[in-house]
Structure 1
Amino acid sequence: MTKYIPFILFTVLTNAAAQVMLKYGMMQLGALSFVGVNPILKILQIVFSPWVFLGLCTFVISMASHLFVLSKVDLSFAYPFLSLAYVVVAVFAYFVFREDVNAMRIVGIALICGGTFFIAWSGGPTHAESVDREVADAVATPSDLHNASKVSQ
């Protein structure tokens, strides 16, 4: 499973990048108000603003990467890594957006990193290896068939 960690980290980074782009795009748009405006047109204005649109496109790339990862590894292994996106976003938000990262958030970030480390360390078979093993266990060999015919006689 560890050979897929670069793909998992790519998913994490594109997910985090999408969040940052969406935040920046919404900052560019300012406070939203739907009063006296056609809501459909307002939503289209938001979606097609450059940074929001780029963020949404990046989410699509992140999701495609995640789908690839899910085809190769167990969900219980891959999904917890997505919590690292919170770590990346919190660090970026602190340095670029000047958001407050207090002691409790730092403790939470440390716990997320520690938990992800233990999950990565757990390793285990890939999804494909698990399926191959199940198929191999389910397929009867010629000697199994021969032995079964002896028992039934």
Structure 2
Amino acid sequence: MVKIHVPGDGHSPPPPDPIATYDPYTDLAKKNVVEDALRILRNNVRGTSACNNCFSQLPGGRTFDQIIDDDTIFIHYDPSDRFMANTLGNNITINEYSISRGRWIVAATLVHELAHVNGAPGNTHAAEATLPPCGFAALYDPSVQT
């Protein structure tokens, strides 16, 4: 299962860059929002054929279930509001703005970012296009190209 980066977990995150930081979650309330979002993904998205099929068509070829079960993927905290989130390899960072909007926004953002982990290229609509088949049609934005 995807993990949340916390102090002392032994994970070595990437260094901060101009786009994002990859900090551990030290604020329990913020970590709880991410845990709630992961619970949504496990209970509402995992096992759905439409989402698994959509993910399997991405360049990485893995299903959503395979991605969400990957314990080498870490979710980090970014205190900025530069972007909703960012992905670098198997490291996803969710920023303060996304967390402040609640667990459903974070869950949808994680679907988008997990699509990047599965090879959805940046500067295309591929990652955002995973939202409707994964149950987040109401949060889908056809103008997103990241």
Give the TM-score normalised by the residue count of structure 1.
Answer: 0.24
Query: More strand per residue: 1 or 2?
Result: 2
Name the TM-score, length of structure 2 as normaliser: 0.24
